[in-house]
Amino acid sequence: MQVELLHSLADLPDFDWRAWSNDNPFISPAFLRAMENTGCASEDTGWQPCHLILYDQRRQPAGFMPMYLKTHSQGEFVFDMAWARAFSQYGLEYYPKLLCAAPFSPVTGPRLIGRNAQARRVLAQAAIEVARRLKVSSIHVLFPEQDDLAVLRESGYMVRESVQFHWNNADYADFDAFLASLTYDKRKKIRQEARKVAQADITFEYKRGKQITAEDLSFFFSCYCNTYYERGRQPYLSEAFFSQLLQHAPDSLLLVIAQRQGAPVACAMNMIGNNKMYGRYWGAHEYIPGLHFETCYMQGIRYCIAHGIALFEGGAQGEHKLSRGLLPQATYSAHWIARPEFADAIHRFLDEETVHVQAYLDELHEHSPFRKQDSTQVRPAPPLPE
Domain membership of residue 319 (yes or no) is: no
Indicate the helix (H) or strand (E) that contains 67. strand 67-70
- Same-domain pairing of 44 and 142: yes
- Same-domain pairing of 198 and 288: yes
The mean-pLDDT minimum among 213-222, 334-343, 376-385 falls in 376-385
On whether the CB atoms of residues 135 and 93 are closer than 8 A, the answer is no
What confidence score (pLDDT) does residue 1 get? 83
What confidence score (pLDDT) does residue 11 get? 85
Chain segment 99-116, per-residue pLDDT in tens: 999 999 999 999 999 999
What confidence score (pLDDT) does residue 44 get? 97
- Same-domain pairing of 196 and 264: yes
On whether the CB atoms of residues 293 and 324 are closer than 8 A, the answer is yes
- Same-domain pairing of 157 and 185: no
Question: Using CA atoms, how far apart are residues 48 and 56, in angstroms rounded to an integer?
Answer: 26
Chain segment 280-306, per-residue pLDDT in tens: 999 999 999 999 999 999 999 999 999
Tell me the average pLDDT across 334-362. 97
Domain membership of residue 377 (yes or no) is: no
What confidence score (pLDDT) does residue 383 get? 44
What confidence score (pLDDT) does residue 318 get? 84
CATH number at residue 250: 3.40.630.30
Tell me the average pLDDT across 166-172. 97
Question: Using CA atoms, how far apart are residues 66 and 146, in angstroms rounded to an integer?
Answer: 17
- Same-domain pairing of 144 and 289: no
What confidence score (pLDDT) does residue 315 get? 86
List for the chain the helix, strand, coil content (%; round to 5). Answer: 40, 25, 35
Domain membership of residue 17 (yes or no) is: yes
- Same-domain pairing of 158 and 255: no
Single pTM value for the model: 0.94
Question: Using CA atoms, how far apart are residues 93 and 86, in angstroms rounded to an integer?
Answer: 10
Question: Using CA atoms, how far apart are residues 127 and 137, in angstroms rounded to an integer?
Answer: 13
Domain membership of residue 224 (yes or no) is: yes
- Same-domain pairing of 6 and 139: yes
Task: Tell me how far CA of residue 374 lies from CA of 119, 179, 183, 213, in angstroms.
Answer: 42, 12, 10, 41
- Same-domain pairing of 72 and 145: yes
Question: Using CA atoms, how far apart are residues 228 and 77, in angstroms rounded to an integer?
Answer: 16
Q: Rounded to 5 degrees, what are φ and ψ at 284?
A: -145, 155
Domain membership of residue 318 (yes or no) is: no
What confidence score (pLDDT) does residue 382 get? 43
Could you say which DSSP state residue 296 is in?
I
Could you say which DSSP state residue 371 is in?
-
Per the prediction, the chain carries an average pLDDT of: 94
Domain that residue 264 falls in: 170-309
- Same-domain pairing of 217 and 292: yes
Binning pLDDT at 50, 70 and 90, where does residue 377 land? low
On whether the CB atoms of residues 52 and 65 are closer than 8 A, the answer is yes
User: Residue 258, SS3?
Assistant: strand
Number of compact structural domains in the chain? 2
Q: Name the more confident of 172 and 374.
A: 172
Domain membership of residue 323 (yes or no) is: no
What confidence score (pLDDT) does residue 372 get? 82
Domain membership of residue 69 (yes or no) is: yes
Question: Using CA atoms, how far apart are residues 229 and 236, in angstroms rounded to an integer?
Answer: 11
- Same-domain pairing of 274 and 339: no
What confidence score (pLDDT) does residue 316 get? 84
- Same-domain pairing of 11 and 136: yes
On whether the CB atoms of residues 312 and 285 are closer than 8 A, the answer is no
On whether the CB atoms of residues 270 and 280 are closer than 8 A, the answer is yes
Say if residue 375's pLDDT is above 80.
Answer: no
Say if residue 374's pLDDT is above 80.
Answer: no
What confidence score (pLDDT) does residue 317 get? 76
Say if residue 381's pLDDT is above 60.
Answer: no
Domain membership of residue 384 (yes or no) is: no
Binning pLDDT at 50, 70 and 90, where does residue 22 land? confident
- Same-domain pairing of 156 and 186: no
Mark residue 165 as left, alpha or beta (left: phi above 0; alpha: psi -120 to 50; beta: remaining): beta
Chain segment 64-93, per-residue pLDDT in tens: 999 999 999 999 999 999 999 999 999 999
